[in-house]
Amino acid sequence: MFELKPMLSALWRNKVSALLIALQLALTLAIVSNATVIVKDRMEKVARPTGMDVGNIIAATYMPIPTDYDMAGAVIADLDLLRNTPGVLDASVTNQIPLSGSGSAGTYFNEPNQEIGGENANYYQVDSHFIDTLGLNLIEGRNFTPADEHVVGPNDRHHSEVAVISKQFAEKLFPGESAVGRFFYAGNTDKPVEIIGVVEQHLGAWPGWSRAGNVVFYPLLVTDNHKRYLIRTEPGQRDAVFKEVEELLNNRDPQRVVQVETLSKNLERTYIGDNVMIKVLSLVMALLTFIVALGIIGLTIFWINQRTKQIGIRRALGATRANISRYFLIENSLIAGTGLVLGTAGALIINRLMVSEFSQPTLTLPLLAVCAIVLLLVSITAALMPAMRAANVSPAMATRSV
Amino acid sequence: MIGYYISLAMRSLRGTPILSALMIAAIAVGVGASMTVLTLNYMMSQNALEHKDSVLYAVQLDSWDPNQAADTANEIPWQLTYPDAIALLRSDIPTRQVAMHRFGFTVNIDESELRPFTANTRVTTRDFFSLFDVPFEYGGTWNKEADTAAVQSVVLSKETNDKLFGGENSVGKIVKLNGEPFTVIGVLKHWNPSPKIYDLNNNPFADSEELYIPFGLHRKFEIYSWGNTNGWTSRTAEGAEGYERFLLGEHVWIQYWVELDNAEQREAYEQFLTGHIHQQKEQGRFERPLKFALSPPSEWLVLNEVLENDNRVLGWASLAFLLVCVINAVALLLAKFLRKAPEAGVRRALGASRNAIFTQHLIESSCIGVLGGLFGIILALAGLTGIRVLAMGQADQIAAMNWEMMLAAVGLAILASILAGLYPAWRISRTNPSVYLKTQ
Amino acid sequence: MLKMQNIRKSYRTDTIETHALRDFSLEVNEGEFVSVTGPSGSGKTTFLNIAGLLETPTGGQYLLDGQEVGNLSDSERSRLRNEKIGFIFQGFNLIPDLNLFDNIDVPLRYRGFNAKERRRRIEKSLEQVGLSARAKHLPAQLSGGQQQRVAIARALAGEPRFLLADEPTGNLDSLMARQVMELLEFINEWGTTIVMVTHDPELARRAQRNIQIVDGQVSDLRQTIAQPEAAIA
């Protein structure tokens, strides 16, 4: 390290250029580390299990044209038709389609007649085939039986005596105990609902909701002006069945409008915002690193050209090729190191703002360290090519006038 | 002299193609990324009602849970209950006022090949069109009585009229909604503001409704909302059963806007709202402290956070990215200019002033900016296409560049490159020329 | 033409101050051909830079063509340099990526002449140095002597009254050096004042007057004996 002092004074003479490189690296670290923590957070969010066999499920919504329409009768006939269609494993009726962004929620209590301290949950009005159709994992208790199912008019007061709920919601209502056989109350009421079963996971209508995963299912058919079916197909059969569903339902009864969608599409649509964040920020990080690397290559080449004669003199005085390469690599590392130290401070300050102003996740030190090391490696790699070239300068350059 | 400097700049750029390409690429990428995100943010922040900002107000009343404030930016529910909307409609203080919400119908016409379809429908009072400057192609809105009585009239959007009647004047024709006959009384011109400022619930960038029907039809068709219905109690008017239990219940689902043309009118209306809340308090409603809000369109967009935190984060990230690109360009320009310092020295000896040298180099960096800006537009267009694909059709209206944004892109690129060129050009213009004139 | 009185010039670095010129006084008359000699580091180049308005003295008075130039702004000095002074350098200092025409064009551009006037002057000065046929060539395509002739053409295109030459023949072989020297003498005969820095005593003697700078001061103001024939031999 005998070269350190002359190296520092050489750097000092090129302080503006060196500072510009350091500044670029500092900003890059600040941006990349904060972007990484956001991307990581979003990827985890998108990768959360939905609890459903999303890839094999089709959802159909239908609206009858006449106002006086036998909804309950139509549902029975439609489900019968769908369940007997080749390629279909099971079909179920529901008031809302999971992952669609459309849904209902209520406030629930574990005591009667409460006004405050309730827990919010997404609720669905379904039938006894629902759990199998979605491929939900019933981990405790039992499924609904046809005997549990009730049909009510859209304006009727209705009350279900039993419900299946998600494990997450069960733990909120009855922390640390089994929820099966216990009762809860929907809103400020004294009518108990018995929990007969618990499913492992179900993300509900809004995966982005702060309480996503709190879900209640009631065995209920409300005959309002539209109904929805969920259809689970055999693996690989979804697209074939998808093409048939609208025709199938319309052929049975043309007096209605049918719309068909897949749960995969819904799930994708749910995460549009997160996907945009992941893709845009990843692209920004990649381009940023690339641009900074190009900048380092450009400047290192420039410096080496400027000092060709100096390198020649060093070579003439006995410096080996390795000495020369090492000189430029150490010089580059010094600059990069300074930049990354500045960047660490910048990253932490920016993250504070991100957390407080834009409710983004907190940056952890290990993640920051990883980003800094990656950038250091990128910077050294970028300097490597020109530094190797510098080592090839002939000692004869010393005697040549430029 | 500018022409001379530009020709020198182009010559200089051609002289060092790789370094020049690198700088142009840095500026282009920086501008491309920031213009992609800024275009998106700009389009998302559009206010289609800007010209009515001083007279139009969204009305909010705090009828919420006494135990817990509403979960909105100003802790007042976004929408009103039906009974409150009906009570407000009775006031004659506002010049115009609108109570409305989204709904859906099946649509078909007799003796038509066209398959029945479902249509997004706006259930509204008659002033909707004049209040929000919605242009009519044919006919017009319904009479005042239709706001309270069941009159089966419908206004079609241009697109719906094209679909149903091939774009001809369909006023007077019959359309079946949920199987019931409705008379067409108006057809709109194309109208699709984005964001959909009059109803920011659900997706603010969704298309405008396909049908518009009078507000007096609720009971006849037992109309619920196809937007958000939020409630905190199942309490409802005494004795109400069936649909009335919903209609008169304590949940909010009606959007309400008023036009108040001057301060006196506004003050009078505020007094009216205060009076209404006091009156309701006597009947056991509005248990929270008296609170209401009248927000002009510009504030309404901010309150509703149409521009989300994520958009802001991307905005800042893209600007920071541009900053790095600018710093990169500063470093490269400095290197390039210093390499050309001997030429600057000769020019100084031949009579160029420092200012002349400075201008020459600043123009050279501006040329890089113009080229970077042009490539930046292409990159931004590609970026916006990418966003449209990622958004699965939901951003088609906002992820699009107009001429102004393209000019802004070039402007941003020139600004960035001038900023980048400022120091290197200053530095080269200050260098002592004699150093470079002496042969070593 | 040029009058310097008690000119001082010192350079400061972080640690030391060097005096390049100390109490330097000199007068050059209109139409004179003066050579400046002196050992390396004596201040010849500093003198030339100050005379050519490329540097400002630390102290003293400098009158160019009767005008005090000490307090002029950069653009005024640049204007004066452009109009009154021509430079010739040892290394020619042609701009490598401009062809001969465009090189000569440089000072005329700063002068603000229109395109027609510039073309007239460029063609005329190229003709004077005998390189009209090569106007579109790049400097690198020319020999050293030709390059120096282009540099002279460039210095002359603005019709300056005062020509400063810094070792104009230093990079040339003797034959070319002689050609360049003859060209300078020819120019001088037409009335242009020339100050030439050189360390070639032969060349120095060809000037009407030789000044020697030692340690930043004029050491000898004696008139050289005009012996052109002897110098050539």
DSSP C216: T
pLDDT of residue C222: 53
The pairing of beta strand B80-81 with beta strand B252-259:
antiparallel
CA-CA distance, A290 to A28, in Å (whole number)? 10
The verdict on a CB contact (< 8 Å) between A27 and B327 is yes
Tell if the CB–CB gap between B342 and C93 is shorter than 8 Å.
Answer: yes
Joined tokens for residue B301: 């967009």
Model pLDDT for residues A197-226, shown as the tens digit of each residue: 999 999 999 998 889 999 999 999 999 888
- What's the pLDDT tens digit per position in C189-232? 989 999 999 888 888 888 899 988 888 888 765 554 444 444 33
Whether residue B437 and residue C54 make contact (CB cut-off 8 A), yes or no, is yes
Is residue C90 over pLDDT 70?
A: yes
Average pLDDT on A50-67 reads: 93
The distance of A393 to chain B (nearest Cα, Å) reads 19
Q: Which residues of A touch B21 (CB under 8 A)?
A: none
Q: Would you state the torsion angle of the CA atoms of residues C52, C58, C63, C69, taken in this order, to the nearest 10 degrees?
A: 70
Q: Give chains near C: 3+ CB pairs under 8 A.
A: B
What are the tens digits of pLDDT across the range A283-341?
Answer: 999 999 999 998 888 888 888 887 888 888 888 888 888 888 888 888 889 999 999 99
| Contact assignment for B356 to C74 by CB distance below 8 Å | no
pLDDT value of position C218: 85
Which residues of C sit within 8 Å Cβ distance of B? Answer: 45, 49, 52, 54-55, 74-75, 77-79, 81-83, 87, 89-91, 93-95, 97-98, 106-107, 109-112, 154, 158, 166-167, 170-171
Do A16 and B334 make contact, defined as CB atoms within 8 angstroms? Answer: yes
Q: Give pLDDT, residue C232.
A: 38
Would you tell me how many other CB atoms lie within 10 Å of the CB of residue B403?
Answer: 7
Contacting B residues, span 211-250, partner chain A, CB-CB under 8 Å = 221-222, 224, 232-234, 241-243, 245-246
pLDDT in tens, A175-186: 999 999 999 999
- Give the number of B-C residue pairs with CB atoms closer than 8 Å: 81
pLDDT value at residue A10: 78
pLDDT band at A17 (very low <50, low <70, confident <90, very high): confident
Judged by CB atoms closer than 8 Å, whether chains meet at C166 and B352 is answered as: no
Instruction: Give the model confidence (pLDDT) of C46-85 as tens digits.
Output: 898 899 998 889 889 999 988 899 889 989 999 999 999 9
CB contact under 8 A, A269 and B394: yes
- Give the model's pLDDT for residue C169: 87
What's the Cα-to-Cα distance from A3 to each of A280, A328, A397, C101, rounded to whole Å?
A: 43, 11, 21, 49
At residue A398 the predicted structure's pLDDT band, cuts being 50, 70 and 90, is low
Nearest-by-Cβ selection for B314 from A256, A268, A280: A280
- List of chain B residues whose C-beta atoms are within 8 Å of the C-beta of residue C79: 351, 353
Q: Identify which of B108, B234, B335 has the shortest CB distance to residue A298.
A: B335
What is the number of alpha carbons within 13 Å of residue A20 lying toward its C-beta? 24
Task: Give the model's pLDDT for residue C229.
Answer: 45
Ordered DSSP codes for C98-113 = S-HHHHHHHHHHHHT-
Q: Which helix (H) or strand (E) holds B146?
A: none
Chain C residues close to B347, C-beta within 8 Å: 95, 106, 110
3-state secondary structure of C53: coil
Asked if B367 contacts B434 with a C-beta cutoff of 8 angstroms, the reply is no
Rounded to two decimals, the ipTM of the complex is 0.87
pLDDT of residue C221: 52
- Residue in chain C lying closest to B10 (CA): C97
Determine the residue among B118, B250, B375 to mutate to test chain A binding: the one whose Cβ has the most chain A Cβ atoms within 10 Å: B118
Range A44-50 average pLDDT: 93
Domain ranges of chain A: 4-47+272-399, 66-254
Tell me, what's the pLDDT at B291? Answer: 95
Asked whether the beta carbons of residue A24 and residue B33 sit closer than 8 angstroms, the reply is: no
**pLDDT above 90 for A401:** no
pLDDT at C88 over 80: yes
Average pLDDT taken over every residue of chain A: 90
**Minimal Cα–Cα distance from B413 to chain C, Å?**
28
Cβ-Cβ contacts under 8 Å, B180 against chain A:
67
Is A20 close to B331, i.e. CB distance below 8 A? yes
Domains in chain C, CATH or no CATH each? 2-11+22-232 (3.40.50.300)
Whether chain C lies against chain A with 3 or more Cβ pairs closer than 8 A is: no
**In three state form, how does the secondary structure of chain A look?**
CCCHHHHHHHHHHCHHHHHHHHHHHHHHHHHHHHHHHHHHHHHHHHHCCCCCCHHHEEEEEEEECCCCCCHHHHHHHHHHHHHCCCCEEEEEEECCCCCCCCCEEEEEECCCCCCCCCEEEEEEEECCCHHHHHCCCEEEECCCCHHHCEEECCCCCCCCCEEEEEHHHHHHHCCCCCCCCCEEEECCCCCEEEEEEEECCCCCCCCCCCCCCCEEEEEEEECCCCEEEEEEECCCCHHHHHHHHHHHHHHHCCCEEEEEEEHHHHHHHHCHHHHHHHHHHHHHHHHHHHHHHHHHHHHHHHHHHHCHHHHHHHHHCCCCHHHHHHHHHHHHHHHHHHHHHHHHHHHHHHHHHHHHHHCCCCCCHHHHHHHHHHHHHHHHHHHHHHHHHHHCCCHHHHHCCC
Q: Which residues of B touch C78 (CB under 8 A)?
A: 348, 351-354, 356
Phi-psi region of B256 (alpha: psi -120 to 50; beta: other; left: phi over 0): beta
Under an 8 A CB cutoff, do C106 and B350 touch? Answer: yes
Give the A:B interface size as CB pairs under 8 Å.
155
Please list the rounded mean pLDDT of every run of 10 residues in chain B (440 residues): 90 87 90 91 90 95 92 94 96 96 93 89 97 96 94 96 95 94 97 92 90 96 91 82 90 96 96 96 93 95 90 91 92 88 91 93 93 93 92 85 88 90 93 74
Give 3-state DSSP helix, strand, coil % of chain C, rounded to 5: 40, 25, 35
B181 touches chain A (CB under 8 A): no
Name residues whose C-beta falls within 8 Å of residue A153's C-beta, 6 or more positions apart in sequence.
A222, A223
- CA pair distance A55, A64, nearest whole angstrom: 28
